[in-house]
Amino acid sequence: MEEKLLTEENTSNYANLSQIKLHYNLAGDGEAVIMLHGGGPGASGWSNFRTNIGPFSSKYKTILLDLPQFGKSDPVIFDGDPTEYNARVIKELLDTLGIQKAHFIGNSYGGATSLRFAIDYPERISKLIVMGPAGYGPSYFVPRPLEGIKALNDWWVNQTREQMAKIVDLFVFREELKTQELIDMRQKAALSHPEHIEARAKSVNRYIPDLTPELSEVKAKTLIIWGRDDRFSPLDFSLNLLWRIPDAQVHIFPECGHWVQYEKSEEFNRLILDFLGND
C-alpha cells in the first residue's frame, strides 16, 4: 500500500481546552511523542518539525504542537513565566487526548517548556529530548544578550523581511540552507497572525526564569542536543544541564546552528529514534 504523504493540512487538528484552543499536527500511532517548537517569529509545530514528522510517525503517535501565541493556536497575554502556562495547558491537552505519558522533544523555547513540564508533571513524561533550550543564567564564554536574541528582539520591533533574513542567517550554520524560500516562509507565517504580535507586545511582564536551581528535579531520562555553532544558546549551557539533570547525556553536532532538527534532520531522526527505542 502506498504510504500517505503527510502535509500540514491533512495532519491538522484542534483541541478546545478550558481556557484556550490549541492547534496541533498529528500523525502515527503508538506511544506519544510531543514536539515543541522554538519562540522565533513565524514558528509553529509544522515549520520546526516538518522534516521529522514522517520518520517519527512510522513508529509513534507524533504531535507537533503550536504553543500558545504561535501558529494556529490562540493568542495569550502572558504575565510572568510563559513556560509554566504552556506546561499546564499541555497537561490538559494530554488529558483531553487520553494520553497518560508522552516523550517530549523541545527546541529552544519549546525546550524550556519541556523542562518545565518535566519538573511540574514528572509522572506524565517518559523520555525528554531538548535542543538548545532557553532559560539559563550567564554564559561563561559568550556575552549576553546573544546576537541571535538581539535579532529576534529587533524583528518584534520592525517586523521587516530584512530582519527575518538576519534571523535565518543566525539560526542556520550551513549556507545552502539559508534559502530565500525559508526566509519568505517564516516572514509570511509571522505576519499572517497579527493577533500573536499584538499579544506579545502586551505581554510586558513576560520572562523565562533561570531553571538551573530546579534541574535536579527532572527525573526523566534526558538527551541534551546542541549545535556546536549555536548563536542563540551558548554551547556551555549544555554542560549546565548535563551536570544537574540526574539521568542525562549530551550529543553535540558540529557545523550546526540552533535548528538541529532542520540542519541535521537525518542524523537527528536516527539519534532520537534510537534513544527512544532503547532502555
Residue 252, number of CB atoms within 10 A of its CB: 14
Strand locations in the chain (E)? 12-16, 21-27, 32-36, 61-65, 102-107, 125-131, 221-227, 248-253
- With a cut of 60, say whether residue 158 has pLDDT above it: yes
Beta-bridge mates of residue 15: 22
Separation CA 82–CA 2 (nearest Å): 42
Contacts of 136 (CB under 8 A, 6+ apart): 210, 211, 212, 233, 237, 240
How does the average pLDDT of the chain come out, rounded? Answer: 94
* pLDDT tens profile 230-265: 999 989 999 999 999 999 999 999 999 999 999 999
The DSSP symbol for 83 reads H
* pLDDT tens profile 52-89: 999 999 999 999 999 999 999 999 999 999 999 999 99
* pLDDT tens profile 83-106: 999 999 999 999 999 999 999 999
- With a cut of 90, say whether residue 190 has pLDDT above it: yes
The domain over range 12-277 is classified in CATH as 1.10.760.10? no
Q: Across residues 4-25, what is the average pLDDT?
A: 96
Element (H, E) at 277: helix 265-277
- With a cut of 50, say whether residue 1 has pLDDT above it: no
- With a cut of 90, say whether residue 221 has pLDDT above it: yes
pLDDT at 141: 72
Nearest to 115, CA basis, from 102, 128, 100: 128
- With a cut of 70, say whether residue 143 has pLDDT above it: no
Q: Across residues 195-199, what is the average pLDDT?
A: 95
Q: Across residues 186-211, what is the average pLDDT?
A: 93
pLDDT at 138: 67
Separation CA 171–CA 169 (nearest Å): 6
pTM, entire model: 0.95
Give me the percent of the chain exceeding a pLDDT of 90: 88
Contacts of 195 (CB under 8 A, 6+ apart): 75
Q: Across residues 208-218, what is the average pLDDT?
A: 93
Beta-bridge mates of residue 248: 222
* pLDDT tens profile 20-45: 999 999 999 999 999 999 999 999 99
Beta-bridge mates of residue 64: 25, 35
pLDDT at 279: 76
Range of lowest pLDDT (63-67, 133-137, 151-155): 133-137
Q: Across residues 97-121, what is the average pLDDT?
A: 98
- With a cut of 90, say whether residue 130 has pLDDT above it: yes
Among positive and negative, which fits the CA dihedral 239, 245, 248, 251? negative
pLDDT at 148: 87
List active site positions: 258
Q: Across residues 180-206, what is the average pLDDT?
A: 94
pLDDT at 139: 73
